[in-house]
Structure 1
Amino acid sequence: MSFEVDIGYSSRRGPREANEDFAGAVHAPRSEESRGLIAAIADGVSAGGHGLEAAQTTVIGLLNDYFATPATWEPTVAMDRLITAQNAWLADHNRRRRQDGAMTTLTALALHGQGYTLAHVGDTRAWRVRHDEGAATPLTVDHALDHPDLRSRLTRAVGLDDYVRVDYMQGELRVGDCFVLSTDGVHGVLKPARLAELALAGSAQQASDALVEAALAAGTRDNATALVIRVLGLDARQLHDELGDARRLMPPAALKVGELLDGYQVTALVADTGVHRLYQARELQSQALVAIKTLHPARASDPEERAMLAHEAWLGQRVSARGEPGFVRVHPRAGQASALYIVFDWHGGRTLEQLQAQARQEGTRAPVATVVAAAVQICKALGRLHRQGVVHRDIKPGNLHLGEDGQWRILDLGVALSGRESAAQRELHAGTPSYMNPEQWEGGLPDAGSDLFALGVVLYQWLGARLPYGEIEPYQSGGYRRDPVALSRIRPDVPMWLDHLVRKAVARDARLRFETAEEMLLALERGAARPIGAPGATPLVQRDPAALWKIALAVSLIFNALMVVWLLFLPR
């Protein structure tokens, strides 16, 4: 079932001279429908007529920018960043206006997957109405003074202070749930039972109109605004849904060619790493080829491995949701799936590891222009990944795939970091040793720079047929005690600008490397037109912090040996 809602909105000035309420709702843009929708309501407060401005800018800013945040961000993180920024802007304006300052309440509701997230500041309210509950259930608590004569005095509001404290709440969605966002001009005069009765009558628009009319008839003294949202269908799956499947479902047993799995017929076993198995299969309904990734039966009962597979399924859907090149599209798993697995689009072609193995057998080398063109595509894909707050952690030739369509794609997000992975996955020392930056062996954490270093190692190996620091074994940092040999000395057809670029990417000193994928991409695209300088030699002390002690020890031993010879063998 696809995500579907019915939305109604109504707002009236009431007895006030101006209407300072504002509300709205926005669906996720096309290609990102899985992110659901966000709705918000605000009630502006001011002494100089700027209340509507505060309410309007707060709601519009939140609705416009919410889906511009990375899809991998938790809804509470995205909301908090945006509300905090709006509060800072409004508080700064209030300091300049002094007596004519303005502030606003805010209640925002994001619907996503099979759940919702609520953000709340002030005395606007969010209600949940269900047919079997009889009365509307309040989901927020007013931030106002608890005194009959002072209830209009807010203790929290957007723009009131330099820092705003926001209440957050998350819950589970059901088909048929009805949410009502209201200002105090509505809920101040309507009881919860009456509010529920009106919210469920007719369409969402009819319900919102009825709520506002009922508030006016009941003698409200304020602006009256109601936003009604009814859930008719649930959205695409979210991380908590995938984790639930990981706990509930078992990976399939070893599959043979011809066997069926939930509408897919296995056509080949592609890989078996001892941790995962990758199959080629054909979807019976569309006859399209797909790839199915699941856990090896020996790892089937490992809860951490199952959680990592669930995280990879969720992250793969988010990263490929925009349809941008550079990644393999992940198919959402059907709700009636009988086992735990991930389904990807199938792309014919070979990995860079396979291409390099073939080149070694044939005694050939990839043309420099081919390597540069591939590096540009891969760098763009890494930039897209990093902008979504994701670190791949295992860039290597085996995870870079050239499709038959000529497109390079980054494979395997199994150990990637998104900020929402489990603690065990975050603490896992993942990656392939020879492609890991030296800081990780010294206790540093992987970041976007780790991926760029790994890409630099890949390019060095691709061009020079050797690793810049040789084969690195786990926890062996000795290989980093020398600078890489210039590629132009290994392969004369490598231009100097490319030699400098690759050696900058794999520099021993992290401060000398590229900071972002965009910086590296710009250097690749400019090429010889605007070459970067040659990286300087890394000081011995930096390459080997114990070097001074070793030199001092050697000098001491030589001096002592000379003293012994002088004392024992030379005439006095």
Structure 2
Amino acid sequence: MRFELDTGLSSLQGRRPRNEDFAGVQAPAPHEAERGWVAALADGVSGSETGDGLMAAQTSVMSLLRDFHAVPADWDASVVLDRLLGHQNAWLAAHNRRPGPDGQPREALTTLTAVALRGRRYALAHVGDSRAWLLRDGECLLLTQDHRLERRDFAGLTRALGLDDALRLDHSAGELKVGDRLLLTSDGVHGVLRSRQIADLLRGSTSAQAAADALTAAALAAGSHDNATALVLDVKDLADPGLDDLADLGRRLPSPGPLRVGAVLDGYSVTALVADNGVHRLLQARELATGRLVALKMLRPGRADDPEERALLAHEIWLGLRLAEAPRSRRGAGSSADSGFVRVHAPADGATHFYAVFDWHQGRTLEQLLANGPLDATQALALGQAVARSLSLLHAADVVHRDLKPANLHLGDDGQWRVLDLGVALSRRSSAVARELHAGTPSYINPEQWQDPPQPPDAGSDLFALGVTLYQALTGRLPYGEIEPYQLARYRRDPVSVSRLQPSVPMPLDRVVMRAIARDAKARFETAEELLLALDRSAARDHAAAARVPRHGGSGHDPATTWKIAFGVSVLFNLLLIAWLLFLPR
């Protein structure tokens, strides 16, 4: 789901010699939709004829809009606003300490009100006497408080950008809803129009631009002596919830209690209990409105009150939604399922409990398939190629799975392999507790994580785990045996090659798998793309070997038979030679 916003901006000079208001909106690039939108309005302080106020307003708004999407993606929106405006304030304050060309003090000051819209929430940052408003369900609410002192002997701003070395911003945040109309105004508008008039104009305008035009025109008609600027943002559709939204749901909503077959939860009827690992329960359910099957993942009652477990589940939902929005150029045409991960659904607006909803796919996990014996080379090769593609997408999003193993790889009845369970995956937004957690199954964890000090998991950890999984899929054995935590002795000898245990495995595939599980990290594949390329080349060689036309008679002779015949002829010839030498007349 994409965030859809309608914007309107009107800025009139009025009776002032110049317009020192400045406002703008910045949308995210298509591949950065999760970063959200940002809008800002600044009102330059007219303390001199040098135009310092206009310069302060313009540079403050433009620098914020320019840099908002350039900061680390894991920064909270309020933190981004605070950091960027803090840097701008420091620059303006330093500028004001230097005398102007005429030797007079500089007065590059401005008010500023900024709003960032991410996921389903907004974040406000405000300094000065510009204002922010929210019209929701017909009611208009003022979101900011003026930093202005009004007395008989003095009237002026108590806070502004560039006024002091230390900037004190007012911050606030709230939920967004479809139909919300946000408004930013300079004091040339709200200084002459009452709150009731502003609300009536917002309600009576059909579009964001019409509302902005109506507000500035009404302000000048009411006798405003200042520049009049209005920036209107209409929320037409909301994006999938961000991590902050999901974490908030995890804190507020209760976890479902024990659910039996036939129980109904938020429009889902439970049809089967699929798994229970002591932390989570996985249920199959049918959505009553559509009849489709889904999977519900929830915390067990004994873990329901653990805030870290709730945060991990929120993070898993967020990662699933993020992967669904991954660029199509990286995963090819088709639906989000083409990414090789199970599609997760955003929590419904009316959800009464906290849980995750996934698509349901009939099929079996690799662990279940291996109960019937190892895979053949063709099946294992298809598995490796599919999972390597999925890891390429995952690592491009700067995410490490951390628990790749046969139980978390699923072959659907549609023939597609999918990676399951992002519950312990690491991203830039993972909490410190999640990072310190030594997650994963020991036998599939690369040896560097057992060293002292241990190395943190990275993309290479997933590639090692995939190599171990392929070895097990081809041979039915683990390359280094069952590993206990910190049992480094297991890694002192190279494992037996795949082809020695399964002679039918082609040597190119053998070499790929053995390189993926090499004891020395430097000898392994560095990226999922490199591993995928090696697997593709292995498949091409196997195909070429199978299609090669035999040299002798076109009937596919066994080369071993040819060598046996040659050896027999040689032995016979040598026996005849010995007999001739023995019976040669003297």
- The reply to whether TM is greater than 0.5 is yes
Q: Tell me how far apart the structure 2 counterparts of residues 460 and 339 of structure 1 sit (CA, whole Å).
A: 41
1:398 maps to what in 2?
407
1:24 maps to what in 2?
25
Q: Given the alignment of the two structures, is residue 269 of structure 1 paired with residue 273 of structure 2, yes or no? A: yes
**1:396, CA displacement in angstroms?**
0.8
1:191 maps to what in 2?
191
1:207 maps to what in 2?
211
What is the CA deviation profile of residues 305-336 of structure 1, one whole-angstrom value per residue up to 9, with x for unaligned ones?
33333332333233334525211111223343
Decide whether aligned partners of structure 1 residues 302 and 219 sit closer, same or farther in structure 2, where only a CA change above 3 A counts: closer
Decide whether aligned partners of structure 1 residues 280 and 481 sit closer, same or farther in structure 2, where only a CA change above 3 A counts: same
Q: Tell me how far apart the structure 1 counterparts of residues 529 and 80 of structure 2 sit (CA, whole Å).
A: 23
Q: Tell me how far apart the structure 2 counterparts of residues 135 and 305 of structure 1 sit (CA, whole Å).
A: 36
Preserved contact between residue 128 and residue 158 of structure 2 (Cα < 8 Å): no
**Aligned AA for 1:116?**
Y
Q: Which moved more, 1:293-302 or 1:470-479?
A: 293-302
Decide whether aligned partners of structure 1 residues 529 and 246 sit closer, same or farther in structure 2, where only a CA change above 3 A counts: closer
Q: Tell me how far apart the structure 2 counterparts of residues 447 and 379 of structure 1 sit (CA, whole Å).
A: 15
Q: Given the alignment of the two structures, is residue 313 of structure 1 paired with residue 317 of structure 2, yes or no? A: yes
**1:270, CA displacement in angstroms?**
1.7
Q: Tell me how far apart the structure 1 counterparts of residues 132 and 141 of structure 2 sit (CA, whole Å).
A: 10
**1:103, CA displacement in angstroms?**
13
**Aligned AA for 2:513?**
V
- Tell me, what secondary structure is at the counterpart of 1:413? coil
| Equivalenced residues, count | 497
Q: Given the alignment of the two structures, is residue 181 of structure 1 paired with residue 184 of structure 2, yes or no? A: yes
2:381 maps to what in 1?
372
Q: Tell me how far apart the structure 2 counterparts of residues 526 and 168 of structure 1 sit (CA, whole Å).
A: 59
Q: Quick one: which of 249, 257, 264 aligns to 1:252?
A: 257
2:11 maps to what in 1?
11
What is the CA deviation profile of residues 27-69 of structure 1, one whole-angstrom value per residue up to 9, with x for unaligned ones?
8859x9887644355789999x999997897577568x58x98
**1:254, CA displacement in angstroms?**
3.9
Q: Given the alignment of the two structures, is residue 329 of structure 1 paired with residue 343 of structure 2, yes or no? A: yes
Q: Quick one: which of 481, 485, 492 aligns to 1:474?
A: 485
Q: Given the alignment of the two structures, is residue 386 of structure 1 paired with residue 395 of structure 2, yes or no? A: yes
Q: Tell me how far apart the structure 2 counterparts of residues 192 and 525 of structure 1 sit (CA, whole Å).
A: 70
2:231 maps to what in 1?
227
What is the CA deviation profile of residues 244-286 of structure 1, one whole-angstrom value per residue up to 9, with x for unaligned ones?
4434313231412x33333222222222223222222221211
Q: Given the alignment of the two structures, is residue 115 of structure 1 paired with residue 126 of structure 2, yes or no? A: no
What is the CA deviation profile of residues 172-218 of structure 1, one whole-angstrom value per residue up to 9, with x for unaligned ones?
13557543335xxx336742964774365132323311343356565
- Tell me, what secondary structure is at the counterpart of 1:11? strand
Q: Tell me how far apart the structure 2 counterparts of residues 381 and 208 of structure 1 sit (CA, whole Å).
A: 47
Q: Given the alignment of the two structures, is residue 514 of structure 1 paired with residue 515 of structure 2, yes or no? A: no
**Aligned AA for 2:291?**
Q
Q: Tell me how far apart the structure 2 counterparts of residues 271 and 333 of structure 1 sit (CA, whole Å).
A: 21
**Aligned AA for 1:264?**
Y
Q: Tell me how far apart the structure 1 counterparts of residues 366 and 146 of structure 2 sit (CA, whole Å).
A: 54
**1:236, CA displacement in angstroms?**
4.3
Q: Tell me how far apart the structure 1 counterparts of residues 145 and 82 of structure 2 sit (CA, whole Å).
A: 18
**Aligned AA for 2:24?**
A
Decide whether aligned partners of structure 1 residues 197 and 189 sit closer, same or farther in structure 2, where only a CA change above 3 A counts: closer
**1:171, CA displacement in angstroms?**
0.7
Q: Tell me how far apart the structure 2 counterparts of residues 514 and 155 of structure 1 sit (CA, whole Å).
A: 52
Preserved contact between residue 134 and residue 193 of structure 1 (Cα < 8 Å): no
Q: Tell me how far apart the structure 1 counterparts of residues 233 and 196 of structure 2 sit (CA, whole Å).
A: 13
**Aligned AA for 2:27?**
V
The 5 A counterparts of 1:354-503 are 354-360=368-374, 365-367=375-377, 369-442=378-451, 443-503=454-514
- Tell me, what secondary structure is at the counterpart of 2:463? helix
Structure 2, unpaired ranges of 5+? 45-49, 90-100, 102-107, 149-153, 327-335, 542-586
2:174 maps to what in 1?
172
Q: Tell me how far apart the structure 1 counterparts of residues 181 and 348 of structure 2 sit (CA, whole Å).
A: 26
Decide whether aligned partners of structure 1 residues 234 and 150 sit closer, same or farther in structure 2, where only a CA change above 3 A counts: closer
Q: Given the alignment of the two structures, is residue 292 of structure 1 paired with residue 306 of structure 2, yes or no? A: no
Preserved contact between residue 60 and residue 85 of structure 2 (Cα < 8 Å): no
What is the CA deviation profile of residues 390-427 of structure 1, one whole-angstrom value per residue up to 9, with x for unaligned ones?
22111111111111222221111111223334443332
- Tell me, what secondary structure is at the counterpart of 2:522? helix
Q: Tell me how far apart the structure 2 counterparts of residues 169 and 496 of structure 1 sit (CA, whole Å).
A: 63
2:364 maps to what in 1?
350
**1:436, CA displacement in angstroms?**
0.9
Q: Tell me how far apart the structure 2 counterparts of residues 366 and 58 of structure 1 sit (CA, whole Å).
A: 58
**Aligned AA for 2:265?**
L
- Tell me, what secondary structure is at the counterpart of 1:358? coil
Q: Given the alignment of the two structures, is residue 127 of structure 1 paired with residue 132 of structure 2, yes or no? A: yes
**Aligned AA for 2:350?**
Q
Q: Pairwise CA RMSD of aligned residues?
A: 4.9
Preserved contact between residue 132 and residue 144 of structure 2 (Cα < 8 Å): yes
**Aligned AA for 1:115?**
R
**Aligned AA for 1:26?**
A
Decide whether aligned partners of structure 1 residues 150 and 231 sit closer, same or farther in structure 2, where only a CA change above 3 A counts: closer
Decide whether aligned partners of structure 1 residues 137 and 271 sit closer, same or farther in structure 2, where only a CA change above 3 A counts: closer
Preserved contact between residue 329 and residue 345 of structure 1 (Cα < 8 Å): yes
Give the structure-1-normalised TM-score.
0.70
Q: Tell me how far apart the structure 2 counterparts of residues 519 and 331 of structure 1 sit (CA, whole Å).
A: 32
Q: Tell me how far apart the structure 1 counterparts of residues 449 and 464 of structure 2 sit (CA, whole Å).
A: 11
Q: Tell me how far apart the structure 2 counterparts of residues 382 and 75 of structure 1 sit (CA, whole Å).
A: 29
What is the CA deviation profile of residues 538-561 of structure 1, one whole-angstrom value per residue up to 9, with x for unaligned ones?
xxxxxxxxxxxxxxxxxxxxxxxx
**Aligned AA for 2:319?**
L
Decide whether aligned partners of structure 1 residues 33 and 466 sit closer, same or farther in structure 2, where only a CA change above 3 A counts: same
Q: Tell me how far apart the structure 2 counterparts of residues 301 and 55 of structure 1 sit (CA, whole Å).
A: 44
- Tell me, what secondary structure is at the counterpart of 1:138? coil
- Tell me, what secondary structure is at the counterpart of 1:249? coil
Q: Tell me how far apart the structure 1 counterparts of residues 145 and 518 of structure 2 sit (CA, whole Å).
A: 54
Identity %: 50
- Tell me, what secondary structure is at the counterpart of 1:336? coil
Q: Tell me how far apart the structure 1 counterparts of residues 517 and 111 of structure 2 sit (CA, whole Å).
A: 51
Decide whether aligned partners of structure 1 residues 135 and 320 sit closer, same or farther in structure 2, where only a CA change above 3 A counts: closer
**Aligned AA for 2:209?**
Q
2:162 maps to what in 1?
155
Q: Tell me how far apart the structure 1 counterparts of residues 263 and 469 of structure 2 sit (CA, whole Å).
A: 38
Q: Tell me how far apart the structure 1 counterparts of residues 34 and 303 of structure 2 sit (CA, whole Å).
A: 30
What is the CA deviation profile of residues 502-540 of structure 1, one whole-angstrom value per residue up to 9, with x for unaligned ones?
33333333334333323333443444889xxxxxxxxxx
Give the structure-2-normalised TM-score.
0.68
1:563 maps to what in 2?
none
Structure 1, unpaired ranges of 5+? 88-98, 531-572
Preserved contact between residue 109 and residue 119 of structure 1 (Cα < 8 Å): yes
